[in-house]
Homo-oligomer: A and B are copies of this chain.
Amino acid sequence: MKLTKDMNILIVGLGLLGGSYAKALTKKGYRVTAITRSQSSIDFAMEDGMITAGAASVDPALVGEADLIVFALYPHIFLDWVKEHQDLFKPGAVITDVTGVKGCIVSEIQSILRPDVEFIAAHPMAGREVSGVKNSDDSIFRGANYVVTPSERNTPDAIELCEDLGNVLGFARVSRLSPDDHDEIIAFVSQLTHCIAVSLMTCQQTEHLEDYTGDSFRDLTRIARLNDEMWSELFLLNKEALLKQMNLFQRELDRLKIMIEDDDAEGMREMMRYSTARRALFDKKPN
């Protein structure tokens, strides 16, 4: 099943990511509406032309006519929302999300969801260090990865629809992982990196360090500016996988520390050559 222009697409949660979805979809001619808590966000989105209608409360008409609903909410709010309002969903509707952790969300939502509505989870790996619909920007999807995480409960139709959404949004690569594999990888490439950035930012209180800082420190701490409510929730939802990756990283840093202690220049150089070669794989791919 492909995304088509006669479908009604509803975004629930119009922040940076929800707004960027709305922008990208509207630009391509899709019909997009939104529900979010703040009336000023709806007003902004209407004036900007990124949605055709919106409400600052759970509007039964908007929910009931939506063929595809994208939930761009904190994980626990998403879960509560579905519990409370799922009777409003249109029969046959497909719902998806943007949550950064999948294992628990996919099974929890799928186990409580009405049988005539399907939840297919996705993780758009794009963001900015600012938030809010006013900062939304559909160019963040360019060159980025979009991962769909189906479970055995999902149908080929919904999986295809969700993958098509990723393509329409403009992601460079759309791929598929099981929810558990996703969480293991995300613990490494996203959560561990945020743990490192935060720890680097808070381990030293020396004043005026910024006068002696180069790009390397700025790069490693860009993501140390983060939404504490969301990230603390994501860390705890993926606790086991994250702790495993933190331990793996700490062992490797210990290995390097021992080389430095032992004046093992050749060992360090070998590690650096491997690091240099492996890093080349990770450059952003052109769309």
Contact = CB atoms under 8 A, between A and B. Distances in A.
B126 A275 contact: no
22 contacts: A125-B212, A126-B215, A144-B215, A177-B212, A185-B206, A188-B206, A194-B216, A196-B196, A200-B252, A202-B274, A202-B278, A216-B222, A218-B282, A219-B223, A224-B276, A228-B272, A231-B272, A232-B265, A235-B260, A235-B268, A243-B257, A246-B260
A203 B254 CA distance: 11
* Top 5 closest pairs, chain A to chain B, by CB: A203-B252, A228-B272, A125-B214, A228-B269, A201-B275
A195 interface: yes
B185 A209 contact: yes
Contact of A263 (B202, B209, B236): B236
A253 B186 contact: no
A200 B147 contact: no
Interface in A84-138: 125-127
A61 interface: no
A212 B185 contact: yes
Interface string A174-203: 010100001001101110111111111111
Interface string A62-79: 000000000000000000
B202 A282 contact: no
Contacts of A210: 281-282
A244 B217 CA distance: 17
How many copies of the chain does the oligomer comprise?
A: 2
A221 interface: yes
A212 B284 contact: no
A37 interface: no
B189 A209 contact: yes
Nearest to A195: B256
A275 B196 contact: no
Interface of A: 125-127, 144-145, 147, 173, 175, 177, 182, 185-186, 188-190, 192-204, 206, 209-226, 228-229, 231-233, 235-236, 239, 242-243, 245-246, 248-257, 260-261, 263, 265, 268-276, 278-284
B144 A196 contact: no
A96 to B, nearest CB: 18
A175 B251 CA distance: 37
A271 B203 contact: no
Given A175-B212, A193-B217, A203-B251, 17 more contacts: A125-B215, A189-B212, A190-B214, A190-B216, A195-B256, A198-B256, A198-B272, A202-B271, A219-B220, A222-B279, A226-B272, A228-B269, A228-B270, A228-B273, A232-B272, A235-B268, A239-B263
A218 B190 CA distance: 10
